[in-house]
Amino acid sequence: GGEREFAKETVRTTCPYCGVGCGVLASVSSDGSVSVSGDPDHPANRGKLCSKGTNLPDTLGLGERLLHPQVDGRRVAWDEAIAAVATRLSDTIAKHGPDSVAFYVSGQLLTEDYYAVNKLAKGFLGTANIDTNSRLCMASSVAGHKRGFGADAVPVTYEDLEEADLVLLVGSNLAWCHPILNQRLLAAKQARGTRIIAIDPRRTAAVDGADRHLPIRPGTDALLFNGLLVHLADNGLLDARFVAEHTAGLAKALEAARADAPSPAHVAARCGLPLADIEAFYAEVATVRRTVTIYSQGVNQSSQGTDTVNAILNVHFLTGRIGAPGMGPFSVTGQPNAMGGREVGGLANQLAAHMGFEPESVDRLRRFWNAPRVADKPGLKAVDLFHAVEEGTVRAVWVMATNPAVSMPDAARVRRALANCETVIVSDCIADTDTARLAHIRLPAAGWSEKDGTVTNSDRTISRQRSFRPLAGEARPDWWIVTQVARAMGFTAAFPFETPAAVFCEHAALSAFENDGTRAFDIGGLAGLSDAEFETLAPAPWPRRVGEGPTRRLYTDGRFFTDDGRARFVPVTSRPPPRFLEPGSLMLNTGRLRDQWHTMTRTGLSPRLSAHAPEPCLDLHPQDAAARGLTDGALVSLSTPVGTALARLRVTEAQRAGEAFLPMHWTDRFTASCVVGRLVDDLAVDPVSGQPDLKRMPVTVAPYPAA
């Protein structure tokens, strides 16, 4: 990819950070400096960019880049690096079988990269041990969608947010994590008086724009929505016709909800809120039909994430608030291509094109790819995958575009596992990530501004990322690297790709292969794009079936993707927190800041972005600070059963008493003393989605140095 003439034109591309997926106009001036602005024609952002998008030019220097392939610490030519990867993977499989290799990839990859690596692993190496950092992000939403809708297909569009009368923000600091979407919501509020209710233990920036804030005890969202289900049902506030014609399973879900949330008083006590607040919330939701419920990491990153998603979906099904303007549940994704990864089967429990491991899907894929060895059972999900590396059952792991040595729970354990692993391959743009330090083979990947392909944002819109600068050093796009390795392993016929367009078209054709037109993910209408059409592809939502135009909102006819076309209520019983507090300890919550992204490998390079929060701060309620003799600005030490950290204290009423908050971004490269992944254990995981609980870890906080 990347053969265009550079710097002569303004290029339309897509922001590489969050799941809003804003369109960016980028250009390079004659002195090489890059300027960016929001693309006024992109449906996600209509010309706006947030602080992270605006400061993208600061992140494009070559200083931190991995510029040449390296094998065992030696700079080598690409041929040698490709041969080394192919040989080590082949040898490992020959000796120990296909499941002795694994891939840990990323929502930063473009769909074409993601498709190629999934095809190699699941189709030709015969292992489904390929999981993604999206496991830490929205795996619970995927699982909840499948249970409720019969497919992982988000109902709403961004426009629905602007047509709603009521927006519930559940565990979502939209103002910092999806800033442009939050701006659209606030503009709608100004224009039409949209009411916003924020349900979040912390008083976040998103709460500033809300009319009502319910600072619930962490992890009690499922109970709150169970109580809402009971309230609506018992007060005759259900859409009886929708329930009768388009759903199944209400009686059992209601029975479970009644047992779980027998009264608003019970809910209030468990959620840690006044009864009047619960009653007022239930009354408001009862009376407003056009309701969008946005949820994000506060819901997903929990050992009860999937059930919480279904508790939210249940309320929308009961009231028929789905499939019409201004209503529906809406999981907003963290990463630029979390959705694209789901489309190509980027999770260990999926095959490509939204297929599962049913025998007919495995067979369909076998025939489409002409691949004799398609994996026929799910692989290891992220936490289990690194445990297998530690145990030595996985002996070769290829990490692409992510930094698990920092971002996984019990990151110290992940580091030990990688340090002892026979073969660690890392492909990344950045030379010195905490994970790349542990690699035997390092492959320089093309970065944003250099690579071409597609990403899919939170409302299913597929957008082009386009290159506007030459590849840095010897960096290459990930799909190209995978293709070369596949050919070196003997799979030449299956990897004929010379352009990202070729990969995309195969992906699109697979989505429509033997499809009777009823599968959710179908972009068969884009399968025949020429290189020139791919080049000019305008943002397009899926599904995009052959012979049909784009579909925006889903479920408008009340038909879902289950066998009988009915949405499924799921019985939910809320559970206590996965870890218990010792006397004197606090519950540690973790999350993002406005101006940083993930482990700061890019945003950490921008002085303007770093000015917002120059160092990691621990937020504590004044009462908890006073009880420990701590004052604002003091240094504090944090400790949990798996690790310790050092941070500066910020005393704030925005924090609930008994709880603490620490941002997730810092790493050894920026301040070795405060790595969130080293504080949170990897023992609490959602049983359905495999998503780790990163938001409820008991921690003790003490003055530093100790008195």
Nearer to ligand SF4, 45 or 301 (CB): 45
Beta bridge partners of 646: 637
Among the listed residues 11, 20, 243, 688, the single contact to ligand SF4 using CB under 6 A: 20
**What's the length of the chain?**
707
Beta bridge partners of 645: 638
| Residue 504 · residue 526 · CB < 8 Å | yes
The type of residue at 536 is T
Among the listed residues 11, 18, 156, 688, the single contact to ligand SF4 using CB under 6 A: 18
Give 265-290 as a DSSP string.
HHHHHHHTS-HHHHHHHHHHHHH-SS
Among the listed residues 107, 155, 179, 323, the single contact to ligand SF4 using CB under 6 A: 179
Q: Is 471 a binder of ligand SF4 (CB under 6 A)?
A: no
Q: Is 309 a binder of ligand SF4 (CB under 6 A)?
A: no
Among the listed residues 110, 137, 180, 374, the single contact to ligand SF4 using CB under 6 A: 180
Stretch that binds ligand SF4, among 27-35, 50-58, 157-165, 433-441 (CB under 6 A): 50-58
Stretch that binds ligand SF4, among 173-181, 287-295, 374-382, 585-593 (CB under 6 A): 173-181
Min. distance of Cβ 332 from ligand SF4 in angstroms?
10
Residue 412 vs residues 232, 416, 419: alpha-carbon distances, Å:
46, 6, 10
Q: Is 22 a binder of ligand SF4 (CB under 6 A)?
A: yes
Beta bridge partners of 588: 660, 697
Among the listed residues 11, 13, 17, 296, the single contact to ligand SF4 using CB under 6 A: 17
3-state SS, residue 182: helix
Among the listed residues 49, 110, 216, 253, the single contact to ligand SF4 using CB under 6 A: 49
Task: For 228-357, list the strands marked E by DSSP.
Answer: 247-248, 291-295, 328-331
Nearer to ligand SF4, 204 or 302 (CB): 204
Nearer to ligand SF4, 468 or 555 (CB): 468
Among the listed residues 13, 45, 291, 319, the single contact to ligand SF4 using CB under 6 A: 45
Burial of 496 (0-12, 13-18, 19+ CB in 10 A): exposed
Give 654-707 as a DSSP string.
TSPTTEEEEES---HHHHTT--GGGTS-S--B-TTT--B--S-EEEEEEESS--
| Residue 103 · residue 129 · CB < 8 Å | yes
Torsion of CA 508, 514, 519, 521, to 10 degrees: -10
Stretch that binds ligand SF4, among 16-24, 464-472, 505-513, 686-694 (CB under 6 A): 16-24
Cis omega (within 30 of 0) for bond into 705: yes
Residue 347 vs residues 137, 420, 535: alpha-carbon distances, Å:
12, 25, 28
Stretch that binds ligand SF4, among 43-51, 262-270, 291-299, 635-643 (CB under 6 A): 43-51
Q: Is 171 a binder of ligand SF4 (CB under 6 A)?
A: no
Query: What residues contact residue 51 under an 8 Å CB cut-off, 6+ apart?
Result: 179, 594, 595, 608, 609, 612
Nearer to ligand SF4, 144 or 179 (CB): 179
Among the listed residues 11, 15, 271, 313, the single contact to ligand SF4 using CB under 6 A: 15
544-578 residues labelled b (16+ CB within 10 A) or e (exposed): bbeeeebebbbbeebbbbbeeebbbbbbbebeebb
79-111 residues labelled b (16+ CB within 10 A) or e (exposed): eebbbbbbebbbebbeebebbbbbbbbbbbbbb
Stretch that binds ligand SF4, among 18-26, 75-83, 97-105, 491-499 (CB under 6 A): 18-26
Q: Cα(245)–Cα(592) distance, rounded to whole angstroms?
A: 41
Q: What is the largest CA-CA distance in the chain?
A: 73
Binding footprint of ligand SF4, residue count (CB under 6 A): 14
Give the count of beta carbons closer than 10 Å to the beta carbon of residue 287: 10
Which is nearest to 301 in space by CA: 182, 219, 382, 406?
219
Min. distance of Cβ 339 from ligand SF4 in angstroms?
13
Min. distance of Cβ 47 from ligand SF4 in angstroms?
11
Stretch that binds ligand SF4, among 15-23, 318-326, 616-624, 664-672 (CB under 6 A): 15-23
Min. distance of Cβ 521 from ligand SF4 in angstroms?
22
Stretch that binds ligand SF4, among 11-19, 103-111, 470-478, 656-664 (CB under 6 A): 11-19
Nearer to ligand SF4, 51 or 700 (CB): 51
Q: Cα(633)–Cα(627) distance, rounded to whole angstroms?
A: 16
Among the listed residues 12, 42, 52, 545, the single contact to ligand SF4 using CB under 6 A: 52
Q: Cα(559)–Cα(517) distance, rounded to whole angstroms?
A: 13
Stretch that binds ligand SF4, among 14-22, 110-118, 377-385, 640-648 (CB under 6 A): 14-22
Nearer to ligand SF4, 125 or 180 (CB): 180
Which H, E and C letters describe 38-97, residue by residue?
ECCCCCCCCCCCCHHHHCHHHHCCCCCECCCCEECCEECCHHHHHHHHHHHHHHHHHHHC
| Residue 201 · residue 242 · CB < 8 Å | no
| Residue 310 · residue 144 · CB < 8 Å | yes
Nearer to ligand SF4, 20 or 674 (CB): 20
Stretch that binds ligand SF4, among 12-20, 144-152, 262-270, 530-538 (CB under 6 A): 12-20
Q: Cα(616)–Cα(632) distance, rounded to whole angstroms?
A: 14
Nearer to ligand SF4, 14 or 127 (CB): 14
Nearer to ligand SF4, 178 or 545 (CB): 178
Among the listed residues 53, 219, 320, 447, the single contact to ligand SF4 using CB under 6 A: 53
Min. distance of Cβ 23 from ligand SF4 in angstroms?
9
Q: Is 21 a binder of ligand SF4 (CB under 6 A)?
A: yes
Min. distance of Cβ 34 from ligand SF4 in angstroms?
15
Nearer to ligand SF4, 88 or 178 (CB): 178
Stretch that binds ligand SF4, among 109-117, 177-185, 304-312, 604-612 (CB under 6 A): 177-185
Nearer to ligand SF4, 461 or 585 (CB): 461
Which is nearest to 301 in space by CA: 221, 415, 202?
221
Q: Which residue is nearest to ligand SF4 (CB)?
A: 53
Query: What residues contact residue 582 under an 8 Å CB cut-off, 6+ apart?
Result: 698, 700
Min. distance of Cβ 24 from ligand SF4 in angstroms?
7
Nearer to ligand SF4, 45 or 204 (CB): 45
Stretch that binds ligand SF4, among 176-184, 251-259, 413-421, 582-590 (CB under 6 A): 176-184
Residues found near ligand SF4 in the complex (CB under 6 A): 15, 17-18, 20-22, 45, 49-50, 52-53, 178-180
